[in-house]
Amino acid sequence: MNFDTPIREIKGIGEKTEKLMNKIGVYTAGDILLHYPREYRKFDSPVSISKAQLNTKVAVYATIATRPLLRRTARINIVIAQAKDETGRLELVWFRSEYIVNSLKPGEHYVFCGSIVKKNGKLQMDQPEVYTADEYKRKMASYQPVYAKTAGLTNNAIQKTVKTCLDSVDIQGDYLPEDIRERECLAEYNFALEQMHFPENTEKLIEARKRLVFDEFFMFILRMQIEKGEASRRKNPFGIKDDGFIDDMVKKLPYELTGAQHKCLKELKGDMASEYVMQRLIQGDVGSGKTIIAFLCMAWMSHLGYQSALMAPTEVLARQHKESFEDLKKILSIDFPVILLTGSMTAKEKRLAYEAMETEKNAMIIGTQALIQDKAGFSNLALVITDEQHRFGVKQRETLSLKGFNPHIAVMSATPIPRTLAIILYGDLDISVIDEVPAKRLPIKNCVVDESYRNTANNFVVKEVRNGHQVYVICPLVEESEGMEGKNVKDHSKELQKNLPSDIKVGMLHGKMKPKEKNAVMEAFARNDIQVLVSTTVVEVGVNVPNATVMVIENADRFGLAQLHQLRGRVGRGDAQSYCIMMNASDSKTAKKRLDILNRSNDGFAIASEDLKLRGPGDFFGIRQSGDFVFDIADIYQDADILKAASNEVTDLLKKDPSLKEESQRKLKYYLTHGYEKKYDNLNL
């Protein structure tokens, strides 16, 4: 068995399980080995029944008091057992688990793991995990992996498949050159894979993670550098000269641009009028005014007789860009064609858009990934801009730029990346930073509270809705997840709809919904048909809703601060005062210190930097700082030193062996084009 072996050929994988594995992106043995745990569960010491905290996953050591009873109903079979210890009694309930009746013996001691609730005056634990004392002792000595999964696919099934592949897949030695491993003190690949999935202890997990993080950075940078080659600085074919058009448009705007926006525009104009094709990254916080920069540059291209394209990550955002462009045209008294192209448009609408793209030689074209489909043809394309660009893969951006003849390229990002790291991640892109927010925007008022403030928070939400405003509520999970604690979108949206007044409409949004469903929800929120939107972090690139004034973030301690900073940037986009309420479910002093940083600063760079100072070398469980970057485990902030080391090693390697022809690089080249090909084709950078 090797990395390319189909998942169906692995022992224990039938047709049904194969389809479920495909849903989480697993098609081969290599895919399941690279499907790293999303976090680890540490088994805590058992507590007595009376000391068990309610509504929190706990372990209780107790005795089965009576033989379990099986109750058969028309819908479902239920097993009920009574457990006791010296401090109290606990009712245990299982659904569709008839085998429990014969597996638990009265008078025997077990450890039961689950969440305890109080029902009708009795303590109850639903669907508890059951261990003997010895089994649980072994569990306590190790970390248990928790994987991303889909409905019908259990964590145990993934664990079992990973174990089978670790035992059977022939990796044939390490592909990373030995001299690099020695210089960077990196573990051997087989060891790292095994310890990443089933760590023996914290030290070995940290060692394994360091190696695999290095690999992710190293492979991405290596591939980017090879593809870039020596031809990155292409000659400018357009002969553009600054004729003062943008300056005239800026004077007509009904508001003043910030100094940072003026500086960015000057850099963009200079690039597009220079000897070489522009390749520039525009960095700026959510709400810093990147969109007006994009519009002015695209309008300039139309004024000069060229086409331009803006690719957005969602259909709602693309439609919103079109509407704002049409409004700006009226304000500035210009009449250049604006064309929209998205995947959900009807066949007739798409055909008309394609025809317009062919005939309107100076159109501003806005769309989603539909812009890179084969049928989408451009004529005279001089400028390509990707908005919220971290959501697009390298190949997607390249495909769009190839629709024209060496067009200028600008990529926009709301992620506050330190310049040294941005230079590594974006190759030879020049960088513009918009580090000011428009003066009319009121600073967001923040507060960090615990569960005891729940009613106060709900009352505040009602008050803001009654004042005509709207609310975002962010949860870390889509649905209740095996082995993971935290609010989930599906249950919390039902809970809020029940607890808030009936005339307040609560909507739900998450990444597992179909694109059409997500678009419908976001459009309904934009129209104020939905007043409270319960969502995962997909709203980071959602619709612009100036009417939204409150952001409630559940389990805020589970998010990296840079991501929290971007999430709260979804509010405060109108004239009204806005608020961010961070619900902290952790008792950790460090978690409180981290969240307090957001109260003291609105500077994304400063927030990310301060967050890192509070972290130790093993503090990477459950927190991803750079949520926008879809590396599997690497984090550009937390792992900045590893990123720099990987970049240096790539530079040295390509200086010595630009084509990776040497024998020592043979395996590395194979894995670069096989094991990592699919992974990095669409890496969101």
**262: which 2 tokens?**
């003026």
pLDDT at 673: 59
Do 395 and 252 lie in one domain? The reply is yes
**Contacts of residue 258, Cβ cutoff 8 Å, sequence gap at least 6:** 288, 289, 434, 436, 437, 438, 439
- Note whether residue 222 is domain-resident: no
Mean pLDDT of 310-338: 91
Q: Which residue has the higher pLDDT, 285 or 20?
A: 20
Confidence of residue 681 (pLDDT cuts 50, 70, 90): very low
Do 385 and 267 lie in one domain? The reply is yes
Task: State the Cα torsion 291-292-296-301 to the nearest 10°.
Answer: 10
pLDDT at 580: 93
User: What is the per-residue pLDDT across 210-262, written as a single tens digit (0 to 9) for each?
Assistant: 999 999 899 888 877 776 654 456 788 898 999 999 999 999 999 899 999 99
pLDDT at 506: 96
Do 295 and 368 lie in one domain? The reply is yes
Confidence of residue 281 (pLDDT cuts 50, 70, 90): confident
Q: What backbone phi and psi angles, to 5 degrees, belong to 77? A: -95, 135
Mean pLDDT of 4-18: 91
- Note whether residue 641 is domain-resident: no
Please determine, for residue 618, whether its predicted confidence score (pLDDT) is greater than 50. no
Q: Which one of 601, 635, 657 terminates a domain? A: 601
Confidence of residue 90 (pLDDT cuts 50, 70, 90): very high
pLDDT at 625: 46
Please determine, for residue 172, whether its predicted confidence score (pLDDT) is greater than 70. no
Distance CA 393, CA 153 (A): 28
Whether pTM > 0.75 for this model: the answer is: no
- Note whether residue 133 is domain-resident: yes
- For the chain, how long is the longest CA-to-CA vector? 89
Please determine, for residue 436, whether its predicted confidence score (pLDDT) is greater than 90. no
- Note whether residue 287 is domain-resident: yes
Range with lowest mean pLDDT among 179-188, 221-230, 323-332, 610-619: 610-619
> How many domains is the chain built from?
3
Range with lowest mean pLDDT among 234-243, 565-574, 624-633: 624-633
Confidence of residue 38 (pLDDT cuts 50, 70, 90): confident
pLDDT at 169: 84
Range with lowest mean pLDDT among 571-575, 605-609, 658-662: 605-609
- Note whether residue 620 is domain-resident: no
Instruction: Give the position of tokens 């678009």.
Output: 519
Distance CA 403, CA 383 (A): 11
**477: which 2 tokens?**
């999970």
Q: How many CB atoms lie within 10 A of CB 38?
A: 18
Q: Partners of 122 in the beta sheet?
A: 119
Confidence of residue 683 (pLDDT cuts 50, 70, 90): very low
CATH of the domain at 66: 2.40.50.140
Please determine, for residue 627, whether its predicted confidence score (pLDDT) is greater than 70. no
Do 422 and 292 lie in one domain? The reply is yes
Do 368 and 490 lie in one domain? The reply is no
pLDDT at 344: 85
Q: Which one of 379, 403, 434 terminates a domain? A: 434
**Could you tell me whether strands 445-449 and 579-583 are parallel, antiparallel, or unpaired per DSSP bridges?**
parallel
Do 457 and 425 lie in one domain? The reply is no
- Note whether residue 161 is domain-resident: no
H or E element at residue 263: helix 259-272
Do 412 and 471 lie in one domain? The reply is no
Please determine, for residue 263, whether its predicted confidence score (pLDDT) is greater than 50. yes
pLDDT at 592: 80
Per 3-state DSSP, what percentage of the chain is helix, strand, and coil (rounded to 5)? 40, 20, 40
- Note whether residue 64 is domain-resident: yes
Do 427 and 539 lie in one domain? The reply is no
- The closest of 596, 569, 597, 582 to 441, measured between CA atoms, is 569
Range of the domain at 61: 41-146
pLDDT at 305: 95
Mean pLDDT of 123-130: 93
* CA-to-CA dists, residue 442 to 284, 287, 410, 435, 602, angstroms: 17, 12, 29, 16, 12
Q: Partners of 384 in the beta sheet?
A: 309, 409
Do 368 and 476 lie in one domain? The reply is no
Q: What backbone phi and psi angles, to 5 degrees, belong to 68? A: -60, 145
**Residues 77, 65 contacting (CB under 8 angstroms):** no
Distance CA 614, CA 623 (A): 13
Mean pLDDT of 12-36: 91
| Residue spans of alpha helices (H) in 509-617 | 515-526, 561-568, 589-600, 604-613
Do 491 and 525 lie in one domain? The reply is yes
Instruction: Give the position of tokens 């000011």.
Output: 436
**For residue 26, how many C-alpha atoms fall within 13 Å in the half-sphere facing its CB?**
28
CATH of the domain at 265: 3.40.50.300
Q: CB-based burial of residue 451 (10 Å sphere; 0-12 exposed, 13-18 middle, 19+ buried)?
A: exposed
User: What is the per-residue pLDDT across 437-457, written as a single tens digit (0 to 9) for each?
Assistant: 776 778 889 898 988 999 999
Distance CA 551, CA 521 (A): 17
pLDDT at 628: 45
**Contacts of residue 549, Cβ cutoff 8 Å, sequence gap at least 6:** 464, 469, 470, 471, 571, 572, 574, 576, 577, 578, 579
**Contacts of residue 252, Cβ cutoff 8 Å, sequence gap at least 6:** 331, 332, 333
Mean pLDDT of 406-420: 81
Distance CA 414, CA 565 (A): 10
User: What is the per-residue pLDDT across 289-317, written as a single tens digit (0 to 9) for each?
Assistant: 899 999 999 999 999 999 999 998 888 88
Please determine, for residue 68, whether its predicted confidence score (pLDDT) is greater than 50. yes
pLDDT at 518: 85
DSSP string computed for 409-439: EEEEE-S---HHHHHHHTTT-EEEEE----T
Please determine, for residue 89, whether its predicted confidence score (pLDDT) is greater than 80. yes
pLDDT at 484: 60
> How many residues belong to the chain?
685
Please determine, for residue 462, whether its predicted confidence score (pLDDT) is greater than 80. yes
Q: Which residue has the higher pLDDT, 674 or 419?
A: 419
* CA-to-CA dists, residue 565 to 368, 528, 556, 600, 638, angstroms: 25, 24, 11, 12, 16
- Strand ranges (DSSP E) for 219-353? 279-284, 307-311, 338-341
- The closest of 180, 628, 564 to 421, measured between CA atoms, is 628
- Note whether residue 47 is domain-resident: yes
Distance CA 181, CA 179 (A): 5
Distance CA 562, CA 5 (A): 39
Mean pLDDT, the chain, integer: 85
Do 292 and 321 lie in one domain? The reply is yes
Distance CA 377, CA 368 (A): 14
pLDDT at 396: 62
**Contacts of residue 195, Cβ cutoff 8 Å, sequence gap at least 6:** 187, 204, 205, 207, 208
Q: Which one of 84, 116, 146 terminates a domain? A: 146
Confidence of residue 420 (pLDDT cuts 50, 70, 90): confident
**Contacts of residue 621, Cβ cutoff 8 Å, sequence gap at least 6:** 39, 40
Mean pLDDT of 658-668: 72
Distance CA 627, CA 538 (A): 10
Q: What is the DSSP letter of 575?
A: S
Please determine, for residue 655, whether its predicted confidence score (pLDDT) is greater than 80. yes
Distance CA 650, CA 386 (A): 27
Please determine, for residue 679, whether its predicted confidence score (pLDDT) is greater than 60. no
Please determine, for residue 192, whether its predicted confidence score (pLDDT) is greater than 80. yes
Please determine, for residue 585, whether its predicted confidence score (pLDDT) is greater than 90. no
Do 493 and 454 lie in one domain? The reply is yes
Instruction: Give the position of tokens 């599997």.
Output: 632
Please determine, for residue 6, whether its predicted confidence score (pLDDT) is greater than 90. yes
